[in-house]
Structure formats: structure tokens, C-alpha cells
Amino acid sequence: MPRPQDAKTIPSYRILPKLLRDPLEAIEEIGRLSAGEIVRLGIGTFRPYLVTRPEHVQHVLNNAENYRREGLLWKPLSRLIGEPSGADPAWPLKKGTYKALFSGPNIASFTDDVARAIVEAVDDLGRRAVGRPVDAADEMTRLVYRAITQLLVGDKITLDEADDLGRVMATATTSSFRSRMLLPFTPFWLPLPGDRAFHRAVQAVDDLIFPIVRESRRGGADGGDIVSRLIRARDENGRGLDEQTIRDGAVALFVAATETSVTILTFLWMVLDARPDIAARLYEEIDQVVGTDHPARSHLSELRYAKMVTQEVLRLFSPGWMLPRTVVADDVIDGVRIRKGSIIVVSPYLTNRLPDVWPDPEVFDPERFAPGQSRDRFAFLTFGGGPHQCIGSFFFTIETQLIMAAMLSRYQPVIHGSPSIKPQLWLTLKPRERIQFLLRPRHAASNV
């Protein structure tokens, strides 16, 4: 057997200037230079490995004991959501609870409630946005919060509080992460730009969530929402979770479910604005399937093109553009030596654009997801893979089909100005500029 080789290093002078100027350009350049090989990146002393080929990614993500979801790069998040799953002793209990909440039958039982909440939120949006540009991130945050609040905290929160929660959570997830991600070795006692806004937002999140946890406890926690379920969860020794862990578990789900969904929905409206051919096919499908009804669970299986469009947006604008792991023990992947203690990065952004797997990768083409198409499971990485794979992907797809149907059966979203559709890399991938859109009623009666 040939001896394992060390990975080639892409030197810092090829990456760093671009990384500081525009991280997206840097990652694209890294993709070209690595050409699917396992490489190390000459960034700082920790020189992370990068893997992009589906079979290499599969090795890393499936082998979660050796490639742990923990370490320095997760630190900025811990004050908001607790420890990352790979380092959290309470994780098995939390994960079991999440899985029960997101199981197919449970989702089916609340889909019509989610659909109703979405229709009401779109009514509200119509009152603000017909003929008048509104901020896409704010509006999509409000919409997504309305869709998931019922499921996460039941009726323990008013609509106004749900809107507040959406706002403070958005501040918490955007304020200081960029500087903390770019300067991961800066100690937490040293203030960086955005830190104060972050701490204020986390305090506001605590002020909203802790009372819900305490109130649910007092009331017997018999609901189907995540807070009640976390309160009732017991390990094999009959031990439950403490208040902080329950709070972290609920907040982690809010964060996982919203940032990502808001980004995808914003890019969705941008794509439809830029591609009238795709929008026209979508309107046709929605008019045929939903017509003037309110969208409901019964429509989902027929909203096929809506699902294909969603998947193609997910491919090109994967909100998680990198998934870092810490290497526990030395390993060899495809003849390349991987050293313990180092960081290894899987990049959905690059894997979802590998030209030999996705021909013309930059072209937006929903037909890639037409029934009958097949490819390596680890070639589409937007929801990750292996034991830490996203548990919300099914819910997200349903939620997006319902949002599309509720919006597009009545309105045509029109992007204000001509913002670039090229994303930028933040903690997650995001639009480059502030995106605004307005709604144009498609039928006279929609002009609320």
C-alpha cells in the first residue's frame, strides 16, 4: 500500500489578501486551486484542511467521533446557543427531543396550523408591502417566526412577542460574529466591533425565553412544543435538563431554523425576479394547484416545481457555506494524512458547485432536481450529512412550498433597485446588500 502523503498547502499569499478583501472571491479561488483535492489552507497557525469531493466529505461527516462538531470556530455561538452538538453532554437528550418534534407524523399533524399562520403573515405583509418597498430580511424573519413559533413555543407567546424575538435573535446572530469568526483567536474579554450589541441581544433573548421555560414548568409542561418536550425529557437514569440547557436547546432551534430559512427565501425572491421564465412556470403550477384557496397540507405533493426551485436555491445559496470539524485522532483520507488536533472544513458552497458533478454549476436550473435525477448523496451538502445532518430539512421544504404558494397565488414580489445576486460570506452566506422588495397584486382582489 502506498504511504500516505501530506496534503498540499495553498500558501497564504494566494488566499489572505482576497480573504480580507472579499471572502467569497477567496473561497472561489480556493475551490479552483484545490480542484477537488484535499488541501491545507495557509491561514494562521492552524492551517485548516479543506475537503470538497463527495466521497471525502462522506468520510468526514459520517465519522463524527473523529471529526467533532466542536472547537474554536463554534465559540462565538456558544453564549447564544450553548455548546455545539459534538461537545454538548446534553446533546443526545436534546437531539432525541428535536427528532420527535420533527418526525414525519408530528409535522403532518401541525402542517395546516403552520399554513394558516403563513397565510395570516402574508396578509399582514400585503398590508405593508403592496406598492411600497420593504426590507426583505426583516419581513422574511417575521414570516418565518410566525411559521415556527407555534411549533417551538406553542401558545406561550403572543404574535408581538414572536416578532420581538425574531428581531433580537437576528441582531444576536449578526452583530459580532463576523469579527469573531475572522479573528478566532481573540480572547472574549477583548471587545470587538458588535460585541455590545450582541450581549444586549442575548440578554433580550434570555428575558423572553426564561419566563416561558419557568411558566411551562409551573403549568406541567404537557404541550407538544419544544420547550415542553425539553422539560419532560429524561435520560436513562431519569435525570432531566436544567433551566439553562432547556433555554439553550430552544434558542438553538430558533437560530437553526430562522437564519438559514430567511436567507434562502430572500434569494428565492431575487432569483424569481431575475428569471421570469422560471417564475412563470411557478405561477402556473400554483394557480393550477392552489388557485384561490388557502394553501394547505393537501396541496404539497402537487407543488412539484415549487419544490425543485427550492432545492436549486438551496444548492446555489447554501446558507452554511462551511462546516468546520476538529480532528480527534490521526487519519488517512484517500491517501492523504490528516493530523489530530487540526481543523478540517467541509464546504457546501464548493461541493454544491463541483463542475464534474453539477455541469455549468453557476446556472440556476431547477431541472437538476426533476424526478429521476440521481447523484451522490454527499454532492448536495446544504443540509450537511452523517449523524449531525440537519433535522429540519423536511420541515423547511414544506414551509417554503407553503410560503411560495401563499405569496405567489396573490402577489408578484418585485425586487427594488438592482442589487447584485452574488452572495457574501458572513457567519452564514447572505445577500451582499440590503434587499428590498414590494408586492404587486396578481389579481384585483389581492390589493389589500
Q: How far is the CB of 309 from ligand HEM (least distance, A)?
A: 14
Q: Which of 49, 369, 380, 383 binds ligand HEM (CB under 6 A)?
A: 383
Residue 312 neighbours by CB distance under 10 Å: 20
* Part in contact with ligand HEM (CB under 6 A); list of ranges 10-18, 217-225, 249-257, 419-427: 249-257
* 397 binds ligand HEM, rule: CB under 6 A: no
Q: Which of 14, 18, 75, 95 binds ligand HEM (CB under 6 A)?
A: 95
For residues 125 and 139, the answer to whether their CB atoms sit within 8 Å is: yes
* 150 binds ligand HEM, rule: CB under 6 A: no
Cell of 49: 484542511
Cα separation, 233 vs 228, in Å, equals 9
Q: How far is the CB of 432 from ligand HEM (least distance, A)?
A: 19
* Part in contact with ligand HEM (CB under 6 A); list of ranges 14-22, 106-114, 367-375, 387-395: 387-395
Number of residues that bind ligand HEM (CB under 6 A): 22
Cell of 114: 403552520
Nearer to ligand HEM, 248 or 273 (CB): 248
* 173 binds ligand HEM, rule: CB under 6 A: no
Q: Which of 26, 253, 272, 327 binds ligand HEM (CB under 6 A)?
A: 253
Q: Which of 67, 349, 395, 437 binds ligand HEM (CB under 6 A)?
A: 395
Write phi, then psi, for 327 (nearest 5 degrees): -85, 120
* 352 binds ligand HEM, rule: CB under 6 A: no
Residue 420 neighbours by CB distance under 10 Å: 10
Nearer to ligand HEM, 46 or 440 (CB): 46
Q: Which of 391, 421, 438, 448 binds ligand HEM (CB under 6 A)?
A: 391
Q: Which of 52, 58, 174, 261 binds ligand HEM (CB under 6 A)?
A: 261
* 388 binds ligand HEM, rule: CB under 6 A: yes
Alpha-helical regions (H) of 22-103: 23-34, 54-62, 75-81, 91-101
Residue type for position 309:
V
Nearer to ligand HEM, 282 or 346 (CB): 346
Q: How far is the CB of 358 from ligand HEM (least distance, A)?
A: 17
Q: How far is the CB of 4 from ligand HEM (least distance, A)?
A: 25
* 181 binds ligand HEM, rule: CB under 6 A: no
Cα separation, 149 vs 157, in Å, equals 8
Biggest CA pair distance of the chain: 72
Alpha-helical regions (H) of 233-385: 243-274, 276-289, 304-316, 348-351
Cα separation, 227 vs 293, in Å, equals 33
* 80 binds ligand HEM, rule: CB under 6 A: no
Residue 270 CB partners (closer than 8 Å, separation 6+): 415, 419, 421, 431, 435
Closest CA to 130 of 410, 423, 430: 410
Q: Let me know if 134 is exposed, middle or buried by CB neighbors in 10 A (0-12, 13-18, 19+).
A: middle
Identify residues 312-351 at the interface with ligand HEM (CB under 6 A): 319-320, 323
Residues at the contact surface with ligand HEM, assessed by CB under 6 A: 69, 85, 95, 98, 253, 256-257, 260-261, 264, 319-320, 323, 382-384, 388, 390-392, 395-396
